[in-house]
Structures are given as C-alpha cells and as structure tokens.
Structure 1
Amino acid sequence: MNEYRQITEAFQENFRNYGELGASVSVWKEGREIVSLHSGFAAADKTRPWTEHSLVPVYSATKGAASATLLLALHQQGASPQMSMGELWPEFPLPYASIAQMMSHQCGLAAFSRTASVFDHEDCVRALEETVPAWQPPEHGYHPHTYGVMLDELMLRLTGERLWRYWEECIRKPLNLDFYIGLPESEWNRVATLYPGKMDMSNMGTPFYLEYMNKGTPVNRAFNTLIGLNSVRQMNTPEAWVYGVPAFGGVASARGMAQFYQACLGLDELRVFPSDVRGWMRNVVIDGPDLTLKTPTAFSCGFMHDPADPATGRKLRHLFGSGGFGHAGAGGSHAFADPAHGLSFGYAMNRMDLNVLPGVKTRNLISAVMKEVAGECS
C-alpha cells in the first residue's frame, strides 16, 4: 500500500524539517485506500505512539462533514439549497437569502453582535437573530464559528434533531467512519493531544493577521464572539469532543476523513449521498475576495474550492486536487475529494501550524499526492 515514494518522502520530511509530532495521511482511489502513513506520538511526552487509529480534533475540517449532513437532510425532506432561509427560519437576519448563500458565507454574520457560549445553542440563536449583517450577497466572508450555529438551527427546524445526531445515524454509522461529530466516551482513549502552532513572523504582516491581532476588528470578532472553545487547551477536553460543534468540533482520523470524501464522490458501496447532493457539494456558488480571510476564496454549499484568477481563470491555489472540494482545518488538518481522479485525501496531525490556510506540511503532502497518484490517471 505504501509504494508511493514521493508521498512517503513528503510525510517523513514533515517530521525531519517541520516539527511534526504525530500525524497520519490517508489517500483513497475509486473505493479503496491506496496510501496509509502514520508516525510519531500522540502526546509530547512520547509515551503514546501515534497509530493509524489515532483521533484528533480537526477544527474546521469538520465543516465539510457538517455541510454534507444538512445537504442530505434537505434532499430527504424534498428541499434544496435554493430554498430561502426565511422559509425555515423566519427570524433569520437575512430571510430572503438562500440556504446556498448562507452555506457559501454570503450572509454577513461571521460575528455575533455580542458574545454567546458555544455550549448554549438557544442563546447562540438569539445572538445571531439580534445581529445586523455586516454584508449581503454577493459579497462573502468566511464564518469560522457562527456557521455551525446556522447549520444546527436549520437541522433542528428541518428534522427536529441536532446535526451531530443526524450525522451519526445517517452517515457515520452506515459508512463506519472514524470521523465523529460528538465523540462517545468509548473512543476518548484514542484522542491525541493538540499543541498550538508557533508564531510565524512571516505571516504577521498579512492583511488577515494584521486585523486578526487587533481586538475588536471584524476579523478578530469573527473568531471571538462565540466563546467556550477559543483555545487549543479547551479543545483538548472531553467537553469539546462530546458536544458536537458543527463548525469546528469534529474528531477524526486521516482515514475517516478520506473515506468520507470517497462517499462524497459516490464511490462508497452504500451510495449514501444522492447525485443531487453530490452536485451541491461540487458546484461553486461564490468565488472572489473573502472579507474575513482577506484573500480570494471559493465555496460551494459548505465546501472550500480553489479560487480562480478572474483575469485568466487559472486556479490561484492547489489545495483540493484537480477541481476538487473539501475543507481545511485550523493548524493543518485537511481533507478533500478530487472528482477528476476518483481521489480523496485526509491528513490529521497534532502539532499545529499557525496559518489561515494550509501551511507547508499540508501543501507538500497534497503536491506529492497530485504528482504521484493523480499523475497516474492523466
């Protein structure tokens, strides 16, 4: 399975040169796992080895799974993302916006007007309903935390269930995924300890970090008005793992994430996601300047895509394969599907980078995969 030398070399280089502590990479192609790499330690004391079964909080890499859950629920209810938010949620601050516009971060609600606890869903909903949108479609800006509140509330109004429960019963269990939104106590012993990224001074002069480091700015508030899980230390607690926060509370292995994205390509035996749902994942809704991340981004319904240069049409980044989709997580965890090659990729680690988008460790792995695996198909 591990005859892919370029991928293996990139994985090993992360340990030699980039401070990797524990990590896994999983690559699937057309329904089977073709690369499985794991090495290092689950904690800094080096008493627990990192294995292929190690789990770790994957931050916003959760968003792909959570978005797929809402899309599947919409389909099963005979609805679509073109439905207006107000049809399900009349009190939503932008009721005429479509669900697709909300899921592509166009509703200007990246920060609440006041703080609210991530562990009090009802108060989060009230805080959101009290917030005046900072922008309206077609402008967009990533909603790092509040996005989960919107998904959860729509799920409740659609199905009467919180999103984590629907994910568990309709997607995770049928596919037997090592990807949890709401981790049972029986799996706690598999969770690796996360460690924060070191300050990279080369990033500090970027428009994103200049605003992020300035308290009270819109970017800073987008990451700090939803409180309760605002530090890496807090993410290393069972409370964080169990609650099932849709925006950033997932706990997964690299294999679990990559296997999920095989299902997003329709390459799972159960065909969990109908073709309409897979189309909603693939089809870009918005592409252009991101008011939160301060760099171009592109989104379908809840999934990141590589943005295009408006002048040439060429992709500005290559984080999701060849025209693929997925989602990055803070610190480096990353997963995507590449429909052109039937590929999916998952990377999970516990020594975080400090980057707004995937850093050098993640990018080097993606590059090796695209050269060595996708190149076979071209």
Structure 2
Amino acid sequence: MITPIHGWNDPRFDAVRQAFESNFAERGDVGAAVSIYLHGDPIVDLWGGWYDESRECEWDRNTLVNVYSSTKGLVAFCAHRLVEQGKLDLDAPVAEYWPEFAASGKQDIPVRWLLCHKAGMAAVKRELVTEDMFDWETMTSALAEQEPWWTPGEKHGYHAMTFGWLVGEVIRRIDGRSVGAYFREEFAAPLGLDAHIGAGPEFDARISTVIEPQIAAEFPPTSDLFGDPDSVGIVAVINPPVFNPGGPAIASRRDWRAAEIPAANGHATARALARIYGGAANGGRIDGVHVLDPETIERGIEEQTNGPDTCIGINTRFGLGWALTGESTPYGPNPRAFGHPGAGGSLGYADLDAGIGFGYAMNQMGTEVAHDPRCTVLIDALYESL
C-alpha cells in the first residue's frame, strides 16, 4: 500500500520531506505530521499516512492527536506568562498560592522545583483507579496531602503525570481559570493554535486513535510499591494507570480526551506545536502576536537540573518547565534549544539560535523514553538544509 503524503515545503528543505517519507517506509510511522517555522515563517508543513490503525482513513491537514508530554511544554508557556505579568514568583513557596499544599512538610517547596522536577512529588501515594485522573479535585487533593518521595531539592526525577496537576493548580489558584481554559484563551485563540488541553466531543472526528506499541509489561500491585522510594518511576505511570500495554489505548476514551490532564492529554497538530515554538524563537512574537518576552524565555531556559533522573533512569536536563537540548533530548546543534517530547515520539521545540520552531506528531507510538529516531532524521535533515 502506497502511503499518501500531502502538504508543502520550501524547496530548500526537500531533505526534510524525504526524511518524513522515509519514516513511513523504514521506521513504522502510520499517520504523522511535521511542521517547521524559520524566523517566524512556515517552511515545512507535511502530513501523511493514516488516521486509523486499519488504514482506511487518511491523516489530513487538520488531524489532531494526543501528544502526551509535549503538553508539558504548553503548560510551561502558561506558567511563564504569569511570571511575565508579575503574578507568579518562581521562588515563592507553592503554599503561598495553594495553602493546602503545605501539608506533610511541603511548606517550603518553591514553585521552580515543580517546574524542574525537583519537588519530590513525582507520583501519587494514594491508591487510585484510572477514572480518578479525570477528576481535578481528586488528583490535586491527593497531591496536597502527601509527603514527598524524596527530600525536595535534593535530586530531580521526572514528574511524568503529576507535573500537570501541580503546575496547573498553581495556575488555577492565581488566575481562576483552569489550565486548559488559560491556554485556550491566552495562547491558542490569539495565536491560532489547533491545540487543546481538554478536548470536547466536537473534536472527536478529527482526533486520530493512538496506536500503542506492542510491548509486554507486568507490574507488581501498586500497594506493594508505595513504601519503596526506588519504585516512584513505576508508580508515576501506574497509579492511576496511564498506559495499557498490548491493549486498547486509554487515550481513545472520551473521558480521557475531555479531562484536563496537563502533563499528558494535550491534543494538537504538529503545526500548532511548531507555531508556538516558532514564535518563541522569533523574538517572542508570531505574525505580530505576543507569545512571551525574550527575557522571559531566557529565564525559562536557565538550566535547573542536569544528570541522572531518579524516576526514568536516563540523564535529563531541564529548565523551568521545558526540557533543554541534551543527551536525551537532542534538538539539533545549538545550545539554546528547548521544548518537550511526548511519550511515543511527539515533539515540539524552539531553537533560539537558528530561529526554528519544530513540531512533530504521530499516532504510532514508539518505545524510546525520550529520543525518537523518527524525529532524529527529521531534525538532522532540517539542519543539513539550513
């Protein structure tokens, strides 16, 4: 079966199109899109393959897909907007904005530690079921009441799911809007982004079904793991259960799509990811619309953590909410590149030195923790073409 490829690219970047086509032929892509901005202008906007695993419907220009942790990068834009407005102090205790969070010895944890994964709150200690993560109050109250897994600030560990509820609740306490509403009204609407944290049923016809990788995974009962600090990385994704290895994707459920799970359930086009990061890389504006001030972005990409991650077992490097270019998240050759990958392979990033905004989204999830080979060939082709 011939894979349909659509869209356009500046002829200087034909190598990116060739790399995109090779992902279907050689790396197992089913449906995907890649979009790139350079100095505020689109230079690549390609999509292809199939919307569904049965390969009956084509992926089209407006297909949305769950981009998992690439959502965290969008949440970071929201937090930095509040910093820019003087409403959020990164060094203030979280409890200053969210008093209940002070319970169980957490009264001194600063906001910045939530954003850079040093808060020790990487998993929920109250035993949960899948449906609990669709209820904001259930998740935020569980986090507010518990003790950290490690001494806050002592080390860093990826807050795979809790990042969204923690940072999102700070945003809600300051602004009054949910993080999904804040992102929609402050960024998506003015910038023309087809990206959503909480997607209503009106989007279902455009949302591609995520295809989970066929891997075998068996975990001990969650209750056996709560007392073991070394188990936090496992608890983070099984309490509540986020993935269903070998079975139907939880991401295809209507209640998953509708909920605001700001660490993991953003639904977006690659174009939306490229556009917001393209604005960040273009002096903080895109088509004359404000994204963030350059000094806000520079503060956001100051390195906060770099080294072994206590939760996911690889070296990670974080600024404030964004993953910085590095060993596990290589975004090209330049030092001032930042963004966020998502489970399975999606990626949005900005390269301030080259003026690049990049977005990739797909439905066939890969098995790499952070560094997906499909993105690697696209990024390599991009920089070779500059």
- Same fold judged by TM-score > 0.5? yes
**Pairs aligned (count):** 355
Shift in Å, 1:86: 2.3
Partner of 1:312: none
Instruction: Point out the more displaced range, 88-97 or 17-26.
Output: 88-97
Q: Quick check: 2:329–2:370 contact (8 Å CA) kept in 1? A: no
The alignment-based identity, stated in percent, is 28
Q: How far apart, CA to CA, are the structure 2 residues paired with 1:6 and 1:71? A: 35
Shift in Å, 1:243: 1.6
Q: Quick check: 1:68–1:281 contact (8 Å CA) kept in 2? A: no
Instruction: Point out the more displaced range, 57-66 or 235-244.
Output: 235-244
Instruction: Point out the more displaced range, 333-342 or 241-250.
Output: 241-250
Q: How far apart, CA to CA, are the structure 1 residues paired with 2:155 and 2:48? A: 42
2:232 aligned with 1:218: yes
Instruction: Point out the more displaced range, 101-110 or 182-191.
Output: 182-191
**1:178 counterpart letter in structure 2:** D
Note the alpha carbon deviations across 1:249-270, whole angstroms, 9 max, x for none. Answer: 1000110110011222313111
Partner of 2:290: 271
Q: Quick check: 1:2–1:36 contact (8 Å CA) kept in 2? A: no
Note the alpha carbon deviations across 1:2-58, whole angstroms, 9 max, x for none. Answer: 422321221111111111111111011011110111111100222211122211000
Q: How far apart, CA to CA, are the structure 2 residues paired with 1:289 and 1:165? A: 35
Partner of 2:380: 367
Instruction: Point out the more displaced range, 283-292 or 58-67.
Output: 283-292
Note the alpha carbon deviations across 1:292-344, whole angstroms, 9 max, x for none. Answer: 1111111111110134xxxxxxx575236522000010000111000000001
Unpaired runs of at least 5, structure 1: 201-208, 308-314
Partner of 1:88: 97
Instruction: Point out the more displaced range, 239-248 or 92-101.
Output: 92-101
Q: Structure 2 residue aligned with 1:123, among 138, 157, 161?
A: 138
Q: How far apart, CA to CA, are the structure 1 residues paired with 2:84 and 2:135? A: 28
User: Map of 1:1-378 to 2, 5 A cutoff?
Assistant: 1-3=9-11, 4-92=13-101, 93-116=105-128, 117-135=132-150, 136-199=152-215, 216=225, 217-227=231-241, 229-231=242-244, 233-265=249-281, 266-268=284-286, 269-307=288-326, 318-319=330-331, 322-323=334-335, 324-372=337-385, 376=386
Note the alpha carbon deviations across 1:149-175, whole angstroms, 9 max, x for none. Answer: 102211221011211011111111000
Instruction: Point out the more displaced range, 14-23 or 231-240.
Output: 231-240
Unpaired runs of at least 5, structure 2: 1-8, 226-230
Q: How far apart, CA to CA, are the structure 2 residues paired with 1:53 and 1:316? A: 30
Q: How far apart, CA to CA, are the structure 2 residues paired with 1:77 and 1:51? A: 41
SS across alignment from 1:118: helix
Instruction: Point out the more displaced range, 125-134 or 171-180.
Output: 125-134
SS across alignment from 2:42: strand
Residues 241 and 321 from structure 1, CA distance in 2 versus in 1: closer, same or farther, beyond 3 angstroms?
A: farther
Partner of 2:4: none
Partner of 1:311: none
Residues 214 and 28 from structure 1, CA distance in 2 versus in 1: closer, same or farther, beyond 3 angstroms?
A: farther
Shift in Å, 1:94: 2.4
Q: How far apart, CA to CA, are the structure 2 residues paired with 1:166 and 1:258? A: 20
SS across alignment from 1:24: strand
SS across alignment from 1:331: coil
Q: Quick check: 1:7–1:365 contact (8 Å CA) kept in 2? A: yes
Note the alpha carbon deviations across 1:146-202, whole angstroms, 9 max, x for none. Answer: 1111022112210112110111111110001011112243332111111011339xx
